Each structure stands twice: as C-alpha cells, then as structure tokens.
A and B are shown apart, each in its own frame.
Chain A
Amino acid sequence: MITAEQKPLQEILGYIAPYEKILVVGCNECVTVCAAGGRKEVGLLSSAIRLNSAKAGKKIEVLEHTLERQCDPEYVDQLAELAGQVDAVVSLACGCGIQTVASQYPIPVFPGVNTKFMGASESQGIWAERCMGCGDCMLGITGGICPIARCSKSIMNGPCGGSVNGKCEISPDVDCAWQLIWDRLVELGLQDRYEELVAAKDWRPAGGGGPRKIIREDLASSKIITEDNA
C-alpha cells in the first residue's frame, strides 16, 4: 500500500489560516490502514483545528468527510456539494488523492499528509518500504526480495563492500538486501541464480522516461484512448 504520515500541525494550520470554512477529506484506502488519513484521523485533525481556533479566538467551521477512495474521479464526484460550501480543502489522502480532488474543484486543496512510500506492515504501527515501482519487477530472480527498494544503493549485483554481518553500512537497523537475497536463495536451493549477472537496469519504466501511464485498451473507453494518443 501507499504509506503516509500526517504533516506537522502547524504546517497544516498555516495553509488554512486565511480561510473560515474548510473541508477535511479522508480516504478509506491505504491511508486508513497506515492510520494517517482515514475517518479517525479526519476527526482528530478537525478537532485539533477547532481547538486551535478556540485558542486563537478565531471562528472557523470545519466539515468532515471520508471518501471510499480519493484517487478515482467517480468517488471524488461525491464531494461536489460539500466542496461548494467551503473555502478550502485539506486532503488526508496520498498525493494521488490530493491531486484528484484538486483537479475536480476550483478551490485550494492542501495536503494534510506527507506521502512516503509503497510499503508493507512489519508489525502493528510499523511500515517498511518494499517497492519503488521500477516498472520491471525482478523479484522472480532475487528470491522475492527487492534490491531496488531494500538496497540503499539499489544495486543489481550485490552485496557491496558496505555489507557487514548482514547489515547495511548506512545503519545497523537496516538489513543488507543482498544478504537477505542470498539467504533466501540458499533456503530455496536456488544459489545458482546468484551467479547470473543482472544487466544494467533500464530505468525508463521506473520514471526515468517521464511521468508514467497505463492504458488498458480492454477497459478504457475508445474515446479516451483516441484522445490520449492524439
């Protein structure tokens, strides 16, 4: 999932300072799971904004709403009535959701979270990066452990000289991804794969070729495909 963390309160309060009526919008997907922007966090942030206005002696009205998903226009359409009543929006979705809301309504939309990475839960309250969306998955040859996301240097043929006792030189808390890969290949009896050198990676599918887009012709309407290729 996409992970996020709430922005410092003062930054959010700074964004909305000029406005008197705002809408705080959450998302029921990834940011709910990582406890950054779900319904509960919408309530907490809205409450904090109200407490701040009480302290500042300023009147501010805060509306709350949480969408099933903020990165789909169909769901963001549901904000039309509320968006028409407010001066600005604070979105607690990831960057994708924030931009979708901003693209649909002609009012300022501010981020309430910092979107961090694509990660998995290690235990309750702890998420770790697992994927960088390189567009050419190599988990099939690395024992299911990603050297792009989990090696500090994203090297294709590791480990490097900074691997000491299974840890990365950047921190004793960071596992050496290539040590993990080797251990996993040994566990699977697939050590031979380690001998195969991986060629220099083509980073264009990873974003090096500009903003990426997926077009599924079997799903997208022909009108949209035609416009897109025009």
Chain B
Amino acid sequence: MDNFEPEIVAFCCHYCGYTAADMAGTRRISYPSNVKIIRVPCTGKVDAIHLMKALEKGADGVYIAACLEGDCHFKDGNLRAVAHVEKIKKTLEDLGWEPERVAMMNFSAAMGQQFAQAAEEFTEKIKALGPSPASQATSKAV
C-alpha cells in the first residue's frame, strides 16, 4: 500500500478550525489534499452519526477541528463534539476498527501553521493504518 492516498474528512468549525485552514491558505502553507474540509457553523452540531456516515461511505479517517476549549462561539459546542468523538472511538473499538481513525483537534483562527501540521500528521497516521475496511469494500465494489 505504498501508493495509498487516504480519504480524510475534516469537520471544521466556521469560527476557528475553518478559519485556521483559511489562514494556512492565506500564508501559502500547504497541507495534504487528502483532507476534505466540511465547514460547519459549530462543531457541537457534528453528531456521532456524521462521523459514522463518513466512515461508512469510505473515509479512511475523520476529524473534527474545533475552537480551543473555552473559546467556542456558542459556549460549549466543542465540548459536545469531544463527547461525540469519544463515543465513536468506543464504537470503533467494539467493532475491531482502529479508534485512531477518528480524532478531535482544537485550533484558534490564527493557528494556520498548526492546522496544516496537524493535517499532515493525521494524514501520515492514516496512511500508516492503511485503507479502512469500508473503503476497501467500496473499492472492491467498484
């Protein structure tokens, strides 16, 4: 699987995670194109089912990029997101999947550099894990 290029979905909060990604772009800091960003008004609205559906549809890794703790625009949406991520990690463990395929990250709007670095590291981690069972099944079906 040397040429494996994972599909990664990142749910990014409009106020921080997404703006940090934008900042990375503005500063011409590149990060892997494997990461597909979905902008959400607040990560508190990213439900467990969204993480599961992303994996089910073939994402090899999924993460949530939220505001720093204490900085949520809607008070505690990022803390709700943590709870959802933990729940799905537990579900993946129960199913024999690697729980590392799901992650929680926190950025301020100014952390473009850190966003790019985290995207790079997460992509490398998923590459090391290899394709998810669902993405393997999907590619076989194709």
Contact = CB atoms under 8 A, between A and B. Distances in A.
Interface of A: 8-10, 40, 43-44, 47-48, 50-52, 54-55, 57
A48 B47 contact: no
Chain B interface bracket (under 10, 10 to 19, 20 to 34, 35 or more): 10 to 19
Contacts of A52: 95-96
Contacts of B134: 50-51, 54
Interface stretch (B9-17, B38-46, B48-56, B106-114): B48-56
B49 A55 contact: no
Interface of B: 47-49, 52-53, 55-56, 91-92, 94-97, 132-134, 136-137
Given A8-B94, A9-B91, A55-B97, A47 B56 contact: yes
A15 to B, nearest CB: 15
Interface of A: prevailing SS: helix
Nearest to A50: B56
9 contacts: A40-B47, A44-B48, A44-B91, A47-B53, A48-B95, A51-B52, A51-B95, A54-B56, A54-B136
Given A9-B91, A48-B91, A48-B95, A55 B56 contact: no
A40 B49 contact: yes
B94 A47 contact: no
Given A47-B52, A55-B133, A10 B94 contact: yes
A40 to B, nearest CB: 6
A16 to B, nearest CB: 14
A43 B49 contact: yes
A44 B91 CA distance: 10
Contacts of A54: 56, 132-134, 136-137
B80 to A, nearest CB: 11
Contacts of B136: 54
Contact of A55 (B52, B91, B96): B96
Contact of B49 (A9, A10, A44): A44
A54 B133 CA distance: 5
Contacts of A44: 48-49, 52, 91
